[in-house]
Structure 1
């Protein structure tokens, strides 16, 4: 990612209600950054993908750790990085195959499909799971 970046963080005291809080925080940040989820076309699609990635990563932290402790959104000219930290040091594994008709267990597959890159890293007090998404195309419409 470019060195010209801006980061917004949401620190969470409890995992309760974390998916909704993180989605709302991400939605507000995306709107401030011009990645409006309600926009039509590619810009809106990319923003909605970001919200889905936030939901999946936060849900995984809630399901497999004791909930997320931080959501971090970092933007650059190239794109956006979504990062969710939790207190469980066990790194996630993308499951291949399996029964796709059964609910559950598909969150990282969704993240993998929507991201240009994703991964995880162990930290001193748990781990972070991150996803990088390419920036939406610039709005080339003429001003009215």
Structure 2
């Protein structure tokens, strides 16, 4: 008997932030529209992407790149920012995330983490 399930479709969303408050508001509006296709994650996704994008434009150098991939029951998002100066990020660890925004990200995400190069920082989160 053939498998009658629908094929898995991956939805994608990409956005470049110039560092302005207006651009952050536009990102939130765009994510809100995109997230309507996954209503069970829409609120959490909007909060997490807002927090990570706000951190990127506050602590990084424009532009910041936002990417979201969703496939039915889960979403993975990443925010990549350019660094003003090479640095270390002790505040990014799960054990020492003293910032309120990262506490929200930790609470609302299934998992999250970060990686860096000499010139960029990428923070990612998964929601299910």
TM-score, normalised to structure 1, is: 0.68
SS in 2 for 1:132: strand
Give the alignment partner of residue 23 of structure 1, picking from 24, 28, 36: 28
Structure showing the higher strand proportion among its residues: 2
Aligned length: 115
Cα distance, 1:60 vs structure 2: 0.9
d(CA) in 1 for partners of 2:19 and 2:63?
A: 6
Change (3 A) 1:97 1:119: closer
What residue in structure 2 maps to residue 5 of structure 1?
A: 10
What residue in structure 2 maps to residue 60 of structure 1?
A: 55
SS in 2 for 1:127: strand
- Do residues 71 (structure 1) and 66 (structure 2) align? yes
Runs of 4+ residues over 3 Å off in structure 1? 89-92, 94-98
d(CA) in 1 for partners of 2:117 and 2:34?
A: 26
Cα distance, 1:108 vs structure 2: 0.6
Structure showing the higher helix proportion among its residues: 2
Deviations 1:35-61 (A, max 9, x none): 24xxxxxx2xx3111101011101111
Note the aligned Cα RMSD (angstroms): 2.4
Cα distance, 1:24 vs structure 2: 1.2
Give the alignment partner of residue 80 of structure 2, picking from 69, 80, 85: 85
Cα distance, 1:66 vs structure 2: 2.5
Give the alignment partner of residue 104 of structure 2, picking from 106, 110, 114: 110
